[in-house]
């Protein structure tokens, strides 16, 4: 990075900080606690690279000298504005650093829904032995999971679902060989829609990115295909699902239940009907961390520093397909 200026808001310390500095050897490194700190605007005007803890605001896209922005988290829909794609600017993120536990989180929802765990917990607290229809329960073994999005998290989930003995269907944009664990692959490139996957899935798991193309990807029609015996699990972003349609489907029993970690408005408003929807599990957009998350972030950042210098394709780069022009709430 000889001769370049790097502005960063990462608060790495100790060995993590030393590793980043080593990767940036030769660069002038300007550190700030946040983009609102005194002197940040002046530093940004002469920066070639910005490595950020949080999403960039409009200022970053209007700096002509800036050539690369890295955002140290996974979902970049807040950064994927049309102005982020000006010539000469690269925007990347840290997708994949938490993929193993995001996959676990999806399976936590699937297991809890299949085992009707909230009902059993209520019975335990009431000191009551058993619940109605408990003999009708079915586990995950032998059932079908449909995974929409086969990026880092989707691929981790496919392997884990296969270990449970599930039939695994996958959907992605690109027509490729099925990743490990995927029994049947559907793709947009091959002209496949979602209908077949939805109709066959006992559990539909969303782990795809949010873009204009995926906004409200799951609406009333798709929920109807999931049907009264199927479950929806959303580990993507809230606006991938038409939340009003989902709420009605849950209350009317048109799907069996849902596991939701993301919502159209966050925090979920206290008056949202989803809080009390039947057979619905809610977590507040939080997943347990992998024990080495910062190190995993650094793996991505350091590899991208190397690629930036050599002109190789960057990891987790935003493309025109990722544009999200809707309001982010």
Q: Per residue in 8-31, pLDDT tens? A: 999 999 999 999 999 999 999 999
7: number of CA atoms within 13 Å, CB side?
25
23: number of CA atoms within 13 Å, CB side?
20
Closest CA to 75 of 218, 245, 239: 239
Closest CA to 301 of 10, 55, 98: 10
Q: Tell me: the pLDDT tens digits for 103-152?
A: 999 999 999 999 999 999 999 999 999 999 999 999 999 999 999 999 99
- Kindly report the average pLDDT of the chain as a whole number: 96
**Do 236 and 209 form a contact (C-beta atoms < 8 A)?**
yes
**Do 231 and 205 form a contact (C-beta atoms < 8 A)?**
no
Catalytically active residues are 237, 266, 285
- Quick one: tokens of 220? 């009333």
69: number of CA atoms within 13 Å, CB side?
28
- Quick one: tokens of 40? 């940040």
Q: Tell me: the pLDDT tens digits for 41-65?
A: 999 999 999 999 999 999 999 999 9
Percent of the chain beyond pLDDT 90? 94
| The pLDDT value given to residue 75 | 84
By three-state DSSP, how is residue 148 classified? Answer: strand
Q: Tell me: the pLDDT tens digits for 297-318?
A: 999 999 999 999 999 999 999 9
Q: How far apart are CA 243 and CA 218, in angstroms?
A: 9
């Amino acid at each position: 990075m000889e001769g370049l200026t790097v502005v960063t808001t990462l608060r790495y310390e100790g060995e993590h900080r030393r590793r980043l500095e080593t990767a940036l050897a030769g660069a002038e490194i300007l550190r700030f606690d946040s983009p609102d700190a005194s002197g940040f605007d002046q530093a940004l005007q002469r920066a070639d690279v910005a490595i950020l803890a949080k999403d960039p605001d409009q200022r970053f896209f209007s700096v002509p000298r800036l050539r690369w922005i890295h955002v140290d988290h996974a979902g970049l829909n807040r950064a994927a504005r049309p102005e982020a794609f000006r010539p000469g600017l690269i925007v990347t993120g840290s997708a994949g650093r938490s993929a193993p536990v995001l996959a676990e989180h999806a399976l936590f929802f699937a297991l809890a829904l299949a085992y009707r765990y909230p009902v059993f917990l209520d019975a335990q607290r009431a000191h009551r032995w058993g619940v109605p229809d408990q003999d009708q329960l079915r586990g995950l073994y032998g059932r079908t999971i449909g995974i929409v999005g086969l990026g880092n998290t989707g691929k981790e989930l496919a392997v884990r679902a296969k270990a449970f003995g599930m039939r695994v269907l996958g959907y992605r944009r690109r027509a490729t060989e099925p990743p490990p664990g995927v029994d049947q692959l559907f793709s947009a490139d091959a002209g496949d829609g979602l209908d077949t996957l939805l109709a066959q899935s006992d559990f539909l798991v969303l782990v795809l990115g949010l873009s204009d193309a995926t906004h409200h990807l799951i609406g009333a029609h798709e929920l109807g295909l999931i049907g009264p015996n199927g479950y929806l699990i959303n580990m993507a972003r809230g606006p991938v699902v038409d939340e009003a349609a989902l709420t009605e489907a849950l209350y009317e029993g048109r799907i069996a239940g849902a596991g939701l970690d993301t919502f159209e408005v966050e925090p979920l408003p206290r008056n949202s009907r989803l809080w009390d929807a039947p057979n619905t599990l809610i977590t507040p957009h939080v997943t347990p961390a992998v024990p080495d998350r910062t190190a995993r972030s650094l793996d991505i950042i350091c590899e991208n520093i190397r690629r930036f210098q050599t002109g190789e394709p960057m990891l987790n780069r935003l493309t025109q397909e990722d544009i999200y022009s809707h309001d982010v709430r």
